[in-house]
Amino acid sequence: MKNAQRLACASGFALLAVLGCNRPKAVHSVAKAAPIDVPGGTLTLSFTRKVQGPVELSLDGVRIPVTQTAKGGKTLKVTGIASGRHRYFVQSNRDAFGPDQGELEMSDAHGVYYVLFSQRFEGVLYGKTEPTPTSEGLPGVSAILK
């Protein structure tokens, strides 16, 4: 009787191992080309999940005010960026991004489109978040989360 139980147990473990090894893996990939033609001077950040916000954006070390429609969105569109090389940084108390910073090369002819991994993340466990100081902004640059 003990040999039959051992055989049943061993075959059960073997079945679980086979089923566990054959399950499909989730694949996250970045789009190779922009699904839309991005106009010059525009940075479009597309998130993999809806971002609740508020979102803070820094461009070349200067905080840009981000306006938000409804309760968040999946796209952050920044317009009015001068041509040349720029560094950006995106952060939020309720969401985590990957990558949250990077460099971009802007031209007058074509804009830049990036896909960022986004995940729900509550940065403040107790109480309320501290209010952030108002953003300085850059002349002619505007950002909207929709």
- Read off the pLDDT band of 27 (50, 70, 90): very low
84-100 residue pLDDT tens: 999 999 998 888 999 99
CA dihedral 32, 36, 40, 42 (to 10 degrees): -90
CA pair distance 119, 117, nearest whole angstrom: 7
- Write the CA distances from 46 to 6, 89, 129, integer angstroms: 53, 14, 25
Give me the pLDDT at residue 94, please. 85
Give me the pLDDT at residue 30, please. 47
CA 69, 70, 72, 75 torsion-angle sign: negative
Q: How far does Cα 97 stand from its chain's mean position?
A: 4
- Read off the pLDDT band of 105 (50, 70, 90): very high
Give me the pLDDT at residue 1, please. 54
Give me the pLDDT at residue 4, please. 60
CA dihedral 39, 44, 50, 56 (to 10 degrees): -130
CA pair distance 119, 98, nearest whole angstrom: 9
CATH numbers and ranges of domains, the chain? 35-145 (2.60.40)
Q: Are 55 and 91 in contact (CB under 8 A)?
A: yes
CA pair distance 58, 92, nearest whole angstrom: 12
Q: What is the mean pLDDT of the chain?
A: 80
Give me the pLDDT at residue 87, please. 96
Residue 112, pLDDT > 50, answer: yes
Give me the pLDDT at residue 134, please. 76
CA pair distance 75, 105, nearest whole angstrom: 19
**pTM tops 0.75, yes or no:** no
Find the mean pLDDT for residues 78-82. Answer: 96
Give me the pLDDT at residue 24, please. 46
Residue in this structure with the two tokens 């479009």, named with its chain if needed: 44
